[in-house]
Structure 1
């Protein structure tokens, strides 16, 4: 037999031995990766899922050895493809943008909101208290009104204004320009408050509480003013079109900030950093939804509130949005785990 034939035979034997010793791991990894790629995660056993990282490293090592000993091209190609596919499963992005949105809107966001629990209850109580404080302050001393409500909106909405003047800011075309500016200010202010209420949660939540009180005190002062003119329901209707969404967004942002602050103040058996990290992930998902709510509120303020010029219609829109948000957050996806 020629020396070249001996070398070829030895190489083939070495390749066959290498494949036989490791092929079982290759096939097992291939089956797991294929099932994951086809979305058949439930068909994969717990043992296979736990073994996935180790199998990936084993096959990657096999590829390295195969390259060093110059195995046949077919084996090298198979291993390279398998390692690439496995890398995306083990270390690559877990889902596409569409997949993330589907999971986020399909229950992930609502579950994160429900996970805030007591933080939302505290934020809601503080917002109610802030509204009452604003009302009581201006009722006791109307001079407080100028300190609570921005001065640039005192064109007609000031203590002592007639009912006709205040009504003109809510209905008809005469007061729509000024009212539109005021609505734009409310949206910009509420968006800023939502972001700050979340960001200040890292200071153990105390600044978040103060910010919620300060913001809702303006609402209380406005309610007092229009109540004196017998226009309380009309003001609530005007505000509710976009306000039920905006105020709900502020509530969620405040709850998210408090959630982080509370976990840092009372971390339990965890370290402060670990507690902040865990609560931060949930709060961040809630804030992603808050941004969406503010966009919806902007659309409602820009179109629905302008088109509907009567209190019953405005209340219907605001009530529908409030009911929709409540149903989504507190009823949707309860059976999903």
Structure 2
């Protein structure tokens, strides 16, 4: 570089270096997590100095100043851009905002999709229950053999009762692995109910309906043997959470499908993009609930042998979910 160019770079840096140092100080504070504690005046100063630094960088490139100065300014501007425009929120803040505001608001906005999800499951349960009492052979149509575990119309009443109140220590020892399997299975069901909703809602409706058919046939078998109250408690401890999670995941899928079918005044692509924001939140809620249901199913259902306690635990936890969805974050921001 010629002597003239070096003098020009030195003069350019001398005139602006104080602002660059001040910008670097503010950016460093923001990077250390103190951005939220910057005063209003300091935030304004940060934005002003960032714009000034971008102008300096543009000028430095145009007049071909020395490379070291360009590298310094490029790094400073990049850091300042993140400090000014990137969301300054910790992971804890994101989780708190989701739990306290985003999730329950998304649930309330998605009431139509959720209604369709619960209706599909309930309809399936009613159909299978009615068909079983017409002909018990329908049980084998609705219930997968692997899921039934020997609990079918050919089983004795005592065998069915023992399965509801099994305290065998070997069974209890395997409950952790059983819970992991059920969590994986139910997650797949909820995932497909969510993901397939975009295809005009039909696949999600059929999948959720089928889950209702399985449930209805299972309940009908036990009601026929005089075990209706017992199976209701057995299912309640985990089913209130688990079945609600599947219906919620389906509700997210229905939200996407409804946006595809009825985009309104927006282009279909924009309608899907808007609907996906709440749909993804519903999928996250369903995943959280399925995890809780996996723990309840794998441990609480067999460790708790009283039907009354099972009912209290299952519906008590269900009331907590409902309270979260209905009561949280009604205040407008």
Question: How far 1:42 sits from its partner (Å)?
Answer: 10
Matched, 1:124 2:127: no
- The answer for the alignment partner of 1:85 in structure 2 is 79
Aligned to 2:132: 138
Question: Could you say what the CA RMSD is over the residues aligned between the two structures, in angstroms?
Answer: 4.1
C-alpha change, 1:224 and 1:330, in structure 2 (3 Å) is same
Q: How high is the TM-score relative to the length of structure 2?
A: 0.80
Shift of 1:215: 0.7
For the 8 Å contact 1:35–1:44, the answer to whether it is kept is no
Contact conserved, 1:153 with 1:182, CA < 8 A, in 2? no
- Report deviation, 1:294: 1.5
Correspondence for 1:112 among 89, 92, 106: 106
Change in CA separation of 1:84 and 1:184 when aligned onto 2, cut-off 3 Å: closer
Counterparts of 1:129 and 1:72 in 2: how far apart (Å)?
71
SS at structure 1 position matched to 2:164: coil
Q: Deviation of residue 157 (structure 1)? A: 2.2
Q: Does structure 2 retain, via aligned residues, the 8 Å contact 1:187–1:246?
A: no
Select which of 228, 235, 239 maps to 2:235.
239
In structure 1, distance between residues paired with 2:198 and 2:155: 42
- Measured at CA, do residues 62 and 131 of structure 1 come closer, stay the same or move farther in structure 2, by a change above 3 Å? same
Superposed, 1:142-221 pairs within 5 Å as: 142-152=136-146, 156-159=150-153, 161-173=155-167, 177=171, 187-221=183-217
Partner of 1:65: 59
The C-alpha deviation readout for 1:6-40, integer Å capped at 9, x for no partner, is: 99998776666x649x96x9989997997896354
Over 3 Å counting, the alpha-carbon distance change for 1:8 and 1:251 in structure 2 is: closer
Pairs aligned (count): 325
Instruction: Check conservation: 2:182, 2:294, Cα contact below 8 A.
Output: no
Contact 1:169 1:176 survives alignment (8 Å): no
Q: 1:184 to 1:136 in 2, by over 3 A?
A: farther
Structure 2 equivalent of residue 290 of structure 1: 286
Q: Secondary structure at the match of 2:226?
A: coil
Report whether the alignment pairs 1:307 with 2:303. yes
Structure 1 residue 268 displacement after superposition: 0.8
Query: Structure 2 CA distance, aligned partners of 1:184 and 1:14?
Result: 65
Residue pair 2:9, 2:66 contacting (<8 A) in 1 also: no
Pair 1:230 & 2:238 matched: no
Q: CA deviation at 1:134?
A: 1.1
Q: 1-side partners of 2:161 and 2:9: how far apart? A: 94
Tell me: higher relative CO, structure 1 or 2? Use CA pairs within 8 A at least 6 residues apart.
2
**Counterpart-to-counterpart distance in 2, 1:328 and 1:315:** 20
Instruction: Note the residue ranges of structure 1 that are not aligned, 5 or more in a row.
Output: none
Distance 1:146 1:302 in 2: 25
What is the TM-score of this pair, normalised by structure 1? 0.79
Deviation of 1:252 after TM superposition, in Å, equals: 0.9
Report the CA distance between 1:174 and its aligned residue.
5.4
Contact 1:106 1:333 in 2 (8 A): yes
Q: Structure 2: where are the runs of 5+ without partners?
A: none
Deviation of the 1:153 alpha carbon: 5.1
**CA gap 1:30/1:266 in 2 versus in 1, 3 angstroms:** farther
